[in-house]
Amino acid sequence: MAVSPTPKPKLGNYESALVNPAQLALAAFAGSTTSALTPPLAVAYSGGADSTALLHAACGMWPGQVRAIHVHHGLQAVADEFEANCRAVCVQLNLSLHVAKVNAKHELGESPEDAARKARYTGLADAGRALGVSQVLLGQHADDQVETILLALSRGAGLAGLSAMPAVFERHGVQFFRPLLQVTSASLREWLTQAGHAFVNDPSNTDERYTRNRIRAKLLPALADAFPQFRQTFARSASHAAQAQLLLDEVAAQDLLQVGTPPAIKALQALSRPRQANVLRHWLLIFHQVRPSTAQLAQLLDQVAACTTRGHHIHLKVANGHVLRDVSYLQWLSPI
């Protein structure tokens, strides 16, 4: 693990003129109509450059009303060092550090990244409630957003995936905010270095066995060379996708009122195939928290279309359960 940097530059009065890009972004975000930030609140503090810059910005904006939460995944030998460095920075900022230790080991068939992400959000939400805050700031930035879009493209994702990371969302009863999605990683690191603030470099971020790291190391430099404004244009495309997904969600909610819950097969058959797909995807996500694959959904639509006789049988694998026919309706059966 590397900690960067330690000495402050001797630049006379220049240091006082340095402006934290996270501070500018957070101020703009807090002033927007969509954020509704209400301190006291917490910052998810990993010790890396992005969360360090965000923590400094939040403490400057809301003195005495910021809590720092560090998620200890226990996946790396340097995890204890990460925690120690976070504690040292919090001492400098006159903050106490709340450490959430989580089990981030992945199950069979689950990616390590997904397992760690789920554990992280659960830990942050539990810690936030324990600290008496219902809002947590996250440090994901513009480069993270581009990586997310490219990952979604590589997996053939639909509009929901291409929408990338939302600026505001709720999980486990806690609101999460990403105020730095318009800020580049390089600008955050440059400010920290010039201002002399220490941050840690996670060695796993350079491990190219992980797809996101290969994107960061190989694709982002090539995109910057070919399309210098790619961060802004990718973000704009993600915003368009998110707006389109919201419209599809509204249509699905209206159609679900017509087909019912559980969905009536005849009512489904009265819809076009794209609307059937949209409403079934919505039903499975909202009521059962599962997402069918493209192939699974296509098979289900074929079976709905073929369901013209009383004896037609439907029992299809969908996500980790099954969709089956129950007389005139579809039901989802969870795994035992």
Task: Give dist(CA 44, CA 71) in Å, integer.
Answer: 8
Instruction: Provide the pLDDT for residue 6.
Output: 39
Domain annotation for the chain: domains and CATH numbers:
2-233 (3.40.50.620), 260-333 (3.30.465.60)
Instruction: Provide the pLDDT for residue 201.
Output: 86
Instruction: Provide the pLDDT for residue 16.
Output: 40
| 129 Cβ contact list (under 8 Å, min separation 6) | 173, 174
User: Which residues in the chain land under pLDDT 50?
Assistant: 1, 5-17
Instruction: Provide the pLDDT for residue 49.
Output: 95
Beta strands in the chain (DSSP E): 2-4, 41-44, 66-72, 97-101, 135-137, 168-171, 174-177, 199-201, 315-318, 321-326, 329-333
Instruction: Provide the pLDDT for residue 5.
Output: 46
Q: How many CB atoms lie within 10 A of CB 254?
A: 11
Which one, of 139, 103, 137, lies nearest residue 119 by Cα?
103
Query: How much helix, strand and coil, in percent to the nearest 5, is found in the chain?
Result: 50, 15, 35
Instruction: Provide the pLDDT for residue 105.
Output: 67
Instruction: Provide the pLDDT for residue 2.
Output: 53
Instruction: Provide the pLDDT for residue 279.
Output: 97
CA angle, 181 as apex, 51 and 177 as ends, to 5°?
Answer: 65
C-alpha 8, offset from chain centre: 33
Task: Give dist(CA 104, CA 25) in Å, integer.
Answer: 31
